Structures are given as C-alpha cells and as structure tokens.
Chain A
Amino acid sequence: MINKSPLSPHLSIHKKVMTALFSIFHRISGIGLSLGTLLIVVWTAFLALGPKYFNFIMHYYTTNFIFKIIFFIWLTGIFYHLFNGIRYLYWSLGIGMDLKTVHLSGYIVLFLTFISTIFVWFVI
C-alpha cells in the first residue's frame, strides 16, 4: 500500500520552534485527556452500579498517591489544552496569526495554565 497521505513535519531534524512545541504539547495533552475521559466514564458507570462499587473506586481515586499525581497532571493538561485550544479556535477564523501576536498569546496560555492550576489545586 503506497502512503498517499501528506507528510507531517519531520520533528526531529528541525530547530524547535515555539509554535511547533505548543502544537505537539496540545496533541500530547489531548491523548492524555482522552484517557482521562475514560476514567470519568468508569466513574459514572460505578456511580450508577451502586454505593458498594462507587466507594470501591473512590477509595482508589482518593487514597492512592499515584492518582494524586495523575490528578495534578490532569488538571494542568485540562487548562493547557483549553487555553491553547481557544487560540486554535480563533486561528481557524484567521484571527491573530501574525508572529508577534502568536508568541504573545502563547505566553498568555502558559501564564493562564499556571495560574489556573495553582488556583484550583492550592487555593480552592
């Protein structure tokens, strides 16, 4: 089978450009969030199954240290993907695409991600 699909950029041979890094992290966080969504599906199903099942899974989610780390990374991923996604949404309309604005909005994404994660995790 001859591959007719267009080539994606050869990531390893180029100098790392900010927009490319943001794009690849958008995809990595997207894959992570997809897996997270499945955790919510499991949570919902166990909730519907009854208190016995629900308490069993909540015990895992709340007492396991690994889950605490997962939840922190998850939260960071949610905010990064959300704020960076907003950027891609208005890029779809062709707005704010000159290099200066792109770099500025990139830093704003990082700032908002940091602030929101810290705020939700430590303050509330």
Chain B
Amino acid sequence: MKNYVSNWLTQRFTAIILIPLTFWFVFQCLSFSEMNYSQIVLFFNSSLNSSLFLVMMVSMLLHSKIGCETILEDYVKSYKIKKISKLLIKTVSYFSIIIVIISIVILMDII
C-alpha cells in the first residue's frame, strides 16, 4: 500500500487538532445537557462554534478511519474480510462527513 506515509502523517496531524477541540467539546456537552432545542441551535448559529465543530468532526472521522484501518491491517488475516471491512469503514466515514456538513449548513440557516 502506497499511502502509509500520508496516513501516518494525517493520523498525527488530526490528533494534534483533536487535543484542544476534545476538551472544548466535552465542556460544551456539559452545557448542552441543560439546554433545550433552540438554545443548541443558537449555539450552532455562531459561525465560530459551527466551524470548530466541523473541524473537530472531520478530524475525528478521518482519525478513526485511519485507526480502524490500521487495526484491521494488523489483526485480520483473511484478505476478503479485510477488503470488505475497509470498504465499509471508508463508506461510513465519508458518508458521516457528508451528513455532518449538510447538518451544519442547515443549522446555520435556521432562524
């Protein structure tokens, strides 16, 4: 496989991005638990919050995609299962990224 190096770099780059954003989101979640629907929508109306959330989600999904692929690479022996699982992970990851982007665009437009 040719993209080992770019995967290795992407894994570390997204990790560095995720360190501050994870703390940020954990603390946001604590306040989300006391907010109602319109208050949370208001949170996403702020372009700063939306951008941070989007960057976090995309980094997280890419990070987990590469991580899961690495684990598969190490422990799954069957070529067929490996190939199918990788396709599944890839599909779910990219599909999730698209869903998050569409959701954020909708949320920024509400109100």
Contacts and interface: CB of A to CB of B under 8 A. Distances in A.
Interface of A: 1, 3, 5, 8, 27, 30-31, 33-34, 37-38, 40-41, 44-45, 47-48, 51, 54-55, 62, 75, 78, 82, 85-86, 88-89, 92, 120, 124
Interface of B: 12, 15-16, 18-19, 22, 26-27, 30, 33, 37-38, 40-41, 44, 57, 60-61, 64, 67-68, 71, 73-75, 77, 79, 92, 96, 99-100, 102-104, 106-107
Contact of B99 (A45, A51, A124): A45
The secondary-structure label for the interface of chain A is helix
Contacts of B12: 89, 92
A41 B107 contact: no
29 contacts: A1-B79, A5-B74, A8-B74, A8-B75, A30-B64, A30-B67, A30-B71, A37-B60, A37-B64, A38-B92, A40-B60, A41-B96, A44-B103, A45-B100, A47-B37, A47-B41, A47-B107, A48-B102, A51-B37, A54-B40, A62-B33, A78-B26, A82-B18, A82-B19, A86-B19, A89-B12, A89-B15, A89-B16, A124-B30
